[in-house]
Amino acid sequence: MNIAQTALDDLRIELAVTLNPDDYNPRVDRALKRHQQQAEMPGFRKGKVPLQLIRRQYGQSVLAEELNQMLGEQLQNHIQENKLNVLGNPIPSEKTEDAGDWNSPGDFIFNYEVGLAPELSLDFGRIAKFTRHKIKVDKKAIERQVNDLQRRHGKMTDPDNSEANDMLVGAFAQLDSDGNLLEGGITSDSTVSLEFVEDKKTKKALLGLEPGSTVDIDPHKVSRDHDDLGRMLGISHEQVQDLQGNFRFTVKEVKRLEPHEINQSLFDKIYGEGVVTDEKAFRERVAEDLDGHFDRDAEWVFRRRFVVDLLKKVDVKLPDAFLKRWIALTNDKPLTPAQLEEEYPGYAESLRWQILQQTVAQAIDLKVEAVELEAEAKRQVGAQYAQYGMPMDEETLGNVAKNVLNDENERRRIADVLVERKVVDDLKTRVKISEKLVSYVEFGKLADEVR
């Protein structure tokens, strides 16, 4: 038994595995004897069929099976013993033919191509300069947040007539092409928020309405998108696609949110009784909270962009031709050359990030402790339930988190989150990061690019 290794280029090697009869015959003989114990043939009792007949009937298939198993074992041992950082799995060589006679077995030589991960340097040098964008806490941002807090703690009233920021509660009924109610048409009780209606003509038609008023409108013009329209009318996505014509909207109620006055009652509701006692201190506290909130947003956007930009600067080389062959050979469903070329860039980008993560993990001896897994599971569970207004006490949160971690897939997913977080934290220390203040609008555009 012998394995000869030949370099094809910096990221590919060829392994020639030689197996001789002394290597495989003992295993083949044992396998044939197991077949003999179970074999049934006319004229022989079960288990008493002569081994020669068993060899004649099963010999070649058993030989192929044992050789295949030995190849897998030997390749894996060679990879481990030589500490080869392989990508994918060894695949049959494209250029070198295998050797061996299946009808008269002797020495067999099998040739495999192996793709290797590149060795990366974490000394990025002058190329690694990055910008972390953060929203500037200016007077406009503070005023916008104050208005939002006033609305959040305001009260709902029932005015006589609708104005630009009101909400109309009512019923939709589908009309035919002549503007009459369509028999058997779509009907739905729903709401219309006037502040989100962008079509000027439609918005004008919805102003000054009182309970009992009716107006004929195009429902597409009072919804944000197809999903929103489907929910508004209680119809499927397919129905939305084909929906045409107007609906009659009958107003049942007019609702108006009256913002809370800027007074001690508002300060107490937001920060606790007596913590803030005047408007100046209130606005200073709003600015402080905004700065923290904007910083968390800035970190989220930066981390998402940082990985993509760093990979471009590092330029992690891959054995692309090998990987494409490996994907084509191992994919569950056959891929056309066009499909492979279309999907490969995304796969390659993900693989580059994995290689960089592995390099950092080895460099810092990265570990994820059980206590970290539990803390992250509790954080994720708590955040998920908080979205639905369902806060948990510490004991319940801990029990739910433990149940989540009992699921091996969830445990692995949470571990991956922690590994990536630690890797990015380390990478940030290896590069130069400058901070730049931008407007709320500018930051929104940057955030949209990484969502």
At 371, is the pLDDT very low, low, confident or very high (cuts 50, 70, 90)?
A: very high
Lowest mean pLDDT among 123-132, 187-196, 203-212, 277-286: 123-132
> Which pLDDT does position 345 carry in this prediction?
93
**Residue 55 contacts by C-beta under 8 Å, 6 or more apart in sequence?**
32
H/E stretch holding 242 reads: helix 237-242
34, 22 contact by CB (below 8 A): no
Closest CA to 219 of 170, 158, 165, 161: 170
At 411, is the pLDDT very low, low, confident or very high (cuts 50, 70, 90)?
A: very high
At 124, is the pLDDT very low, low, confident or very high (cuts 50, 70, 90)?
A: confident
Whose structure tokens read 């922690």?
Answer: 418
Average pLDDT, the chain: 92
Q: How many CB atoms lie within 10 A of CB 13?
A: 20
> Which pLDDT does position 386 carry in this prediction?
78
Cα(329)–Cα(28) distance, rounded to whole angstroms? 28
Q: Look at residue 177 and tell me whether its pLDDT is greater than 80.
A: yes
363, 344 contact by CB (below 8 A): no
Beta strand 129-135 with 432-438 is parallel
Alpha carbon of 377 to those of 16, 41, 177, 289, 390: distances in Å? Answer: 47, 60, 56, 26, 16
DSSP per-residue codes, 260-291: PPSSHHHHHHHH-TTT--SHHHHHHHHHHHHH
Q: What is the pLDDT of residues 308-331, one digit of tens each?
A: 889 888 889 999 999 999 999 998
Helix axes 279-314, 139-152, angle to 10 degrees: 110
Cα(16)–Cα(75) distance, rounded to whole angstroms? 10
φ, ψ of residue 258 to 5 degrees: the values are -90, 115
> Which pLDDT does position 110 carry in this prediction?
96
> Which pLDDT does position 72 carry in this prediction?
93
> Which pLDDT does position 103 carry in this prediction?
87
Q: Look at residue 279 and tell me whether its pLDDT is greater than 80.
A: yes
Q: Is 87 helix (H, G, I), strand (E, B) or coil?
A: strand
> Which pLDDT does position 441 carry in this prediction?
87
Cα(135)–Cα(298) distance, rounded to whole angstroms? 8
Q: Look at residue 168 and tell me whether its pLDDT is greater than 90.
A: yes
Cα(253)–Cα(342) distance, rounded to whole angstroms? 53
Cα(190)–Cα(235) distance, rounded to whole angstroms? 12
Lowest mean pLDDT among 122-131, 227-236, 264-273: 122-131
Going from the N-terminus, what domains does the chain have, and what CATH number goes with each? 2-116 (3.30.70.1050), 155-258 (3.10.50.30), 268-450 (1.10.3120)
3-state SS string over the chain?
CEEEEEEEECCEEEEEEEECHHHHHHHHHHHHHHHHHHCCCCCCCCCCCCHHHHHHHHHHHHHHHHHHHHHHHHHHHHHHHCCCCEEEEEEECCCCCCECCCCCCCCEEEEEEEEECCCCCCCCHHHCEEEEEEECCCHHHHHHHHHHHHHHCCEEECCCCCCCCCEEEEEEEEECCCCCECCCCCEEEEEEEHHHCCCHHHHHHCCCCCCCCEEEECHHHHCCCHHHHHHHHCCCHHHHHHCCCCEEEEEEEEEEEECCCCCHHHHHHHHCCCCCCCHHHHHHHHHHHHHHHHHHHHHHHHHHHHHHHHHHHHCCCCCHHHHHHHHHHHCCCCCCHHHHHHHHHHHHHHHHHHHHHHHHHHHCCCCCCHHHHHHHHHHHHHHHHHHCCCCCCHHHHHHHHHHHHHCHHHHHHHHHHHHHHHHHHHHHHCCEEEEEEECHHHHHHHHHHHC
93, 113 contact by CB (below 8 A): yes
What is the number of helices (H) and of strands (E) in the chain?
Answer: 14, 11
Q: Look at residue 390 and tell me whether its pLDDT is greater than 80.
A: no
> Which pLDDT does position 273 carry in this prediction?
94
* Mean pLDDT across 405-409: 95
Closest CA to 145 of 256, 262, 258: 262
* Mean pLDDT across 51-70: 90
More confident residue, 43 or 215: 215
- Beta-carbon-side half-sphere exposure of residue 29 (alpha carbons within 13 Å): 6
Cα(80)–Cα(210) distance, rounded to whole angstroms? 78
